[in-house]
Structure 1
Amino acid sequence: MAITSANQLELLQTAEAVAREKMIDPGLVIEAMEESLARAAKSRYGAEMDIRVSIDRKTGRATFSRVRTVVEDEELENYQSELTVAQAKQYLDNPSIGDTIVDEVPPVELGRIAAQSAKQVILQKVREAERERQYEEFKDRAGTIINGQVKREEYGNIIVDIGRGEAVLRRNEKIGRESYRPNDRIRVYIKDVRREPRGPQIFLSRTAPEFMAELFKMEVPEIYDGIIEIKAVARDPGSRAKIAVISYDSSIDPVGACVGMRGSRVQAVVNELQGEKIDIIPWNEDQPTFLVNALQPAEVSKVVLDEEAERIEVVVPDDQLSLAIGRRGQNVRLASQLTGLDIDIMTEAQESERRQKEFAERTTLFMEALDLDEFFAQLLVSEGFSNLEEVAYVELDELLVIDGVDEDTANELQARARDFIEAVNKQALDKARELGVEDSLVEFDGLTPQMILALAEDGVKTLEDFATCADWELAGGWTTVDGQRVKDDGVLEKFDMGLEEAQNLVMTARVQLGWVDPSELEADVEDEAPETSEEEEA
């Protein structure tokens, strides 16, 4: 195959045809042809030569050129593509470093192997251009719904034709046991669009919570217009889902608007999701109230929220326990996903039993530590005292309000509580020192003797050891493993230490050791502080 006048125009026609078929710029196809011809020419003239090919965009004429670059004498390595300033004087009047000398060389005959190689280069370049075009077209459409046509199935994954490209619906993104045949129409959510060297670039989903939110946006005009907002979605794909909505117009009921006349709007979403049951819940800024709504249809007697631990305790009537938990824990799991809280559910009987147990434990503690009779100890617990520190350091007036307690009795109670606490603290410190705790940790402000003992039993015996701890190692936390939240126990968690307090203590230790510059911390705080607008300042 020779590049002659007979097939020069054919090059342009081929480029136009390929570009039209793949919906890419014809110039990219011609550039691919130029590169493929240049490679073929190098195999003819020598790989060390810098051979370049230029195809005229109007006539299709291919010009083969040899390019040589002027370099320093000591940098001359490739005699075929480089030459010195002295050598360049044969071609240029006043050559300088970096100048190029271009000589036209005769066109080459493409043998069978060279022609095949050229074809592969062109196909590769065309594929790259096609993938780039597809990425640029769909990168801004991530997070939207698209209709496509099933092309084929590969290892359980569905390849979907989405018009100007292909996308993949992985088997774990399908609802339940959905099955599709070629040419079936399918509605999917574009979950991600990213550059990949090989394989699909557009990743679809039908199980994503956002898919349900987008379906409601399509069915409910008030959501599309921004009058109603979807605040949270939790799904067990193909089975059940909960969606929380809020209305910014007091005259519009968000739940009723999403349900529609005779359930028409929500039913359209249910049909698309293979019969997935959907609970539409009114959003509330008050988390306990929102949780009560999220646990519907179960009734809730009482809610206790621990904001720092992001946990919530729910008490339900005995006959409502199974309904609140749901089949295989589905109802409480979805409510937990919707609120972002860990939920503990117990019956009224279980709560009563737990409260009686706590009452008995505190009564026993006061009886043994303060040398009190059972009645007096129960009186203290009934007044809300839960530990010895509260008795020892509370304002005296809070003890005097208890029936039968005068000033002398109150002083005696506090003295006994303080003596007991000091004895316990001394015992804890002595045991910690036996385990090898150094004074640097004992004298560190913010740790009680019991905390120091707990640290020592965990192998933390110096201030340096403490400074290397992570906040979650001290206060505990939660880790998501395979989609499930797993509890990480903290060394000081039993002392009600929160993550923020643990972080502050560790950072203080690092500052004291000179590991961290305090001025850097102040700068970080200033950077994180929200900027005040000129209007606010005014």
Structure 2
Amino acid sequence: MVRGRLFLILNFFVMRPQFFAAINQICDEKNIPYEKVLETVKAALATAYRKDFGSKEEEVEIILNETGEFATVLLVKEVVEDVENPNIEISLAEAKKMKGDVQVGDEIKIDVTPMEYGRIAAQAAKQVILQRLQEAERDSLYDMFKNRENEILSAQVMRVEGGSVHISVEKHNVVLGPRDQISGEKYYTGKRIKVYLDKVVNTNKGPQLSISRTHPNLVVRLLEMEIPEVAEGDVKVKSIARDPGFRSKVAVWADEEKIDPVGACIGQKGVRIQSVMDELGGERVDIIEWSKDPKEFIATALQPAKIAEVIIVNDGTDIRVRKRAAVFVEEEERPMAIGKKGQNVRLASDLTGFELDLYNLEQLPAFKEKLSELIKTDRRIGDEDLEDIPDGASDADEVIEAAASSLQASDGDWGSLSKAVVTKLEKAGYKNLADLNGMELPALEAIEGIGKASAKKIAKELL
């Protein structure tokens, strides 16, 4: 479309009414300032003139007048006593013939407007305009979006090709890659969506917009749009954990006691949070109250499960050791604490920043005794120190496997390993236990998806 309108601009450079209409249309389509397009056209006309009538050294000025019929071409020369370069200089005597009061050192502009241009000149001008318009469009795109990083943008789906979704963001085409799409969400031409602008990077191919529907901050920005208390800062989002398309947990806090941060976010009959979930394609958003007390925060983050007790093993004071907490639940609360495919405990861990180990409540006395012994040694407590607590699992991975332990692998070549472990091994390329013969514990732990607890179970099967 732009190439077609260049014909109007370059057709012997006549200032027909369509000329400025074509420029205005290019500005609207490409979101480029009118002045930039005019500068581009002037540069193209100057290039065309030099191509047919002048030389590369000549300084040419183009004047576009909406009331005139032709573009005016002026040749700019410096007035000198003795001319050394006629392309850029003119003698004082010659200059006085054109302008009586001219002096040495002045610039004089000579009207050299031709009545027509050659095909080669017009083609050269066309190439200049196309190149300059592309550069102007890239600059406009970068300037427009650079200061809007970390914001939500409204977009419309233009087409879907393979796994990528091409969308229009304020008249600019941007690709929403597969990793930035919400799992299970349907995209179709004309669909309006909101995307999160993560960052804008200037590359050799022009600015690249990194947009996402899966970024955790998309949820935060949607809360700001739907909830005035969040937008105004009365309610603060302290942390967020997200499993895009399925579930998010958001911790909120209000400094003023009279403000209920959770109630403000949920709204009357849940209308506020429902608007956010609708925009996310039905993704569940849990709002919980943040607490300065990590024990209370962890217990709340694991809702709807009822937590009996939380013990902070490592509070993050020593940066060499990751923050870790032991969570104790009644047997009947364990499945709820873990969640489907471990989702609840995983999101709670991300939300609180603590590695969470789940234990049965009856393990509490033994755990406290073991922890007390370790504290007396006055050394850092590592992951392996608390693995041998009797009568139960010591970490979330093993708890998840224990919950599925009744579903044993049907293939006899895997012994009594659970389906969860077998699936991970098969995904890593192992067909049966025989393929693992000779592997030591560290090698088993290095298999993707296999933790220390699972590695120990495999090692027992190999004995």
Q: Deviations over 1:348-383 (max 9, x none)?
A: 5666556666788x8xxxxxxxxxxxxxxxxxxxxx
Q: Tell me, in whole angstroms, the C-alpha distance in 2 between the residues paired with 1:293 and 1:154.
A: 43
Whichever residue aligns with residue 218 of structure 2, its letter is F
The reply to whether residue 62 of structure 1 matches residue 74 of structure 2 is no
Contact residue 55 and residue 87 of structure 2 kept, 8 A? no
* Distance of aligned partners of 1:155 and 1:196 in 2 relative to their CA distance in 1, 3 Å threshold: farther
Whichever residue aligns with residue 303 of structure 2, its letter is Q
Q: Deviations over 1:415-453 (max 9, x none)?
A: xxxxxxxxxxxxxxxxxxxxxxxxxxxxxxxxxxxxxxx
The reply to whether residue 307 of structure 1 matches residue 313 of structure 2 is no
Q: Which has the higher helix share?
A: 1
Q: Shift of residue 117 of structure 1?
A: 3.0
Whichever residue aligns with residue 39 of structure 1, its letter is T
Whichever residue aligns with residue 211 of structure 1, its letter is L
Q: Deviations over 1:5-53 (max 9, x none)?
A: x646654454344335545443322221111122223333465423424
1:339 maps to what in 2? Answer: 352
Q: Tell me, in whole angstroms, the C-alpha distance in 2 between the residues paired with 1:147 and 1:270.
A: 17
Q: Shift of residue 318 of structure 1?
A: 5.8
Match of 2:211 among 195, 204, 213: 204
Contact residue 8 and residue 59 of structure 1 kept, 8 A? no
Q: Tell me, in whole angstroms, the C-alpha distance in 2 between the residues paired with 1:162 and 1:358.
A: 55
Contact residue 51 and residue 64 of structure 1 kept, 8 A? no
The reply to whether residue 282 of structure 1 matches residue 294 of structure 2 is no
Q: Deviations over 1:54-95 (max 9, x none)?
A: 123344443334456799xxxxxx967567xxx977778986
Q: Tell me, in whole angstroms, the C-alpha distance in 2 between the residues paired with 1:176 and 1:170.
A: 12
Q: Tell me, in whole angstroms, the C-alpha distance in 2 between the residues paired with 1:41 and 1:181.
A: 49
The reply to whether residue 187 of structure 1 matches residue 194 of structure 2 is yes
Contact residue 9 and residue 59 of structure 1 kept, 8 A? no
2:176 maps to what in 1? Answer: 169
Contact residue 175 and residue 206 of structure 1 kept, 8 A? yes
Contact residue 3 and residue 62 of structure 1 kept, 8 A? no
Secondary structure at 2:256 match in 1: coil
Q: Deviations over 1:441-490 (max 9, x none)?
A: xxxxxxxxxxxxxxxxxxxxxxxxxxxxxxxxxxxxxxxxxxx9x9xxxx
2:45 maps to what in 1? Answer: 37
- Which piece of structure 1 moves more, 140-149 or 234-243? 140-149
Contact residue 150 and residue 182 of structure 1 kept, 8 A? yes
- Which piece of structure 1 moves more, 254-263 or 226-235? 254-263
Contact residue 325 and residue 332 of structure 1 kept, 8 A? yes
Q: Tell me, in whole angstroms, the C-alpha distance in 1 between the residues paired with 2:271 and 2:326.
A: 34
Gaps of 5+ in 1: 72-77, 363-383, 389-483, 487-538
Contact residue 295 and residue 310 of structure 2 kept, 8 A? no
- Give the alignment's TM-score, normalised by structure 2: 0.64
Secondary structure at 1:263 match in 2: helix
The reply to whether residue 245 of structure 1 matches residue 252 of structure 2 is yes
Q: How does 1:5-24 map to 2 (within 5 A)?
A: 7=15, 11-24=19-32
Q: Shift of residue 241 of structure 1?
A: 1.0
Q: Shift of residue 238 of structure 1?
A: 0.8
Q: Tell me, in whole angstroms, the C-alpha distance in 2 between the residues paired with 1:49 and 1:387.
A: 81
The reply to whether residue 386 of structure 1 matches residue 372 of structure 2 is no
Q: Shift of residue 228 of structure 1?
A: 2.0
Q: How does 1:95-106 map to 2 (within 5 A)?
A: 104-105=111-112
Secondary structure at 2:311 match in 1: strand
Q: Shift of residue 185 of structure 1?
A: 2.2
Q: Shift of residue 284 of structure 1?
A: 0.9
Q: Deviations over 1:161-181 (max 9, x none)?
A: 344444443321111032311
Contact residue 166 and residue 176 of structure 2 kept, 8 A? yes
The reply to whether residue 270 of structure 1 matches residue 277 of structure 2 is yes
RMSD: 3.9
1:316 maps to what in 2? Answer: 328
Contact residue 167 and residue 200 of structure 1 kept, 8 A? no
Q: Tell me, in whole angstroms, the C-alpha distance in 2 between the residues paired with 1:274 and 1:21.
A: 31
* Distance of aligned partners of 1:345 and 1:111 in 2 relative to their CA distance in 1, 3 Å threshold: farther
* Distance of aligned partners of 1:10 and 1:225 in 2 relative to their CA distance in 1, 3 Å threshold: closer
1:129 maps to what in 2? Answer: 136
Q: Tell me, in whole angstroms, the C-alpha distance in 1 between the residues paired with 2:174 and 2:227.
A: 28
Q: How does 1:75-94 map to 2 (within 5 A)?
A: none
Contact residue 166 and residue 200 of structure 1 kept, 8 A? no
1:330 maps to what in 2? Answer: 343
Q: Tell me, in whole angstroms, the C-alpha distance in 2 between the residues paired with 1:264 and 1:13.
A: 48
Q: Tell me, in whole angstroms, the C-alpha distance in 1 between the residues paired with 2:377 and 2:31.
A: 74
Q: Deviations over 1:273-310 (max 9, x none)?
A: 22322221111122232122112233142321422234
Q: Tell me, in whole angstroms, the C-alpha distance in 2 between the residues paired with 1:31 and 1:10.
A: 18
2:226 maps to what in 1? Answer: 219
* Distance of aligned partners of 1:88 and 1:248 in 2 relative to their CA distance in 1, 3 Å threshold: same
Whichever residue aligns with residue 341 of structure 2, its letter is R
Q: How does 1:430-509 map to 2 (within 5 A)?
A: none
Whichever residue aligns with residue 205 of structure 1, its letter is S
Q: Shift of residue 264 of structure 1?
A: 2.8
Q: How does 1:133-172 map to 2 (within 5 A)?
A: 133-172=140-179
Contact residue 40 and residue 117 of structure 1 kept, 8 A? yes
* Distance of aligned partners of 1:254 and 1:12 in 2 relative to their CA distance in 1, 3 Å threshold: closer
Q: Tell me, in whole angstroms, the C-alpha distance in 1 between the residues paired with 2:87 and 2:240.
A: 63
Q: Tell me, in whole angstroms, the C-alpha distance in 2 between the residues paired with 1:117 and 1:2.
A: 13
Secondary structure at 2:346 match in 1: helix
* Distance of aligned partners of 1:25 and 1:254 in 2 relative to their CA distance in 1, 3 Å threshold: closer
Q: Tell me, in whole angstroms, the C-alpha distance in 2 between the residues paired with 1:260 and 1:48.
A: 69
Secondary structure at 1:18 match in 2: helix
Report the count of equivalent residues.
Answer: 357
Contact residue 168 and residue 200 of structure 1 kept, 8 A? no
Contact residue 234 and residue 243 of structure 1 kept, 8 A? yes
* Distance of aligned partners of 1:119 and 1:356 in 2 relative to their CA distance in 1, 3 Å threshold: same
Q: Tell me, in whole angstroms, the C-alpha distance in 1 between the residues paired with 2:363 and 2:145.
A: 54
2:419 maps to what in 1? Answer: none
Q: Tell me, in whole angstroms, the C-alpha distance in 1 between the residues paired with 2:94 and 2:365.
A: 101
Contact residue 150 and residue 161 of structure 1 kept, 8 A? yes
Q: Shift of residue 332 of structure 1?
A: 2.6
1:50 maps to what in 2? Answer: 58
Q: Shift of residue 236 of structure 1?
A: 0.5
- Which piece of structure 1 moves more, 209-218 or 343-352? 343-352
Q: Tell me, in whole angstroms, the C-alpha distance in 1 between the residues paired with 2:293 and 2:120.
A: 73
Gaps of 5+ in 2: 1-9, 96-101, 380-448, 452-463
2:456 maps to what in 1? Answer: none
Q: Shift of residue 129 of structure 1?
A: 3.3
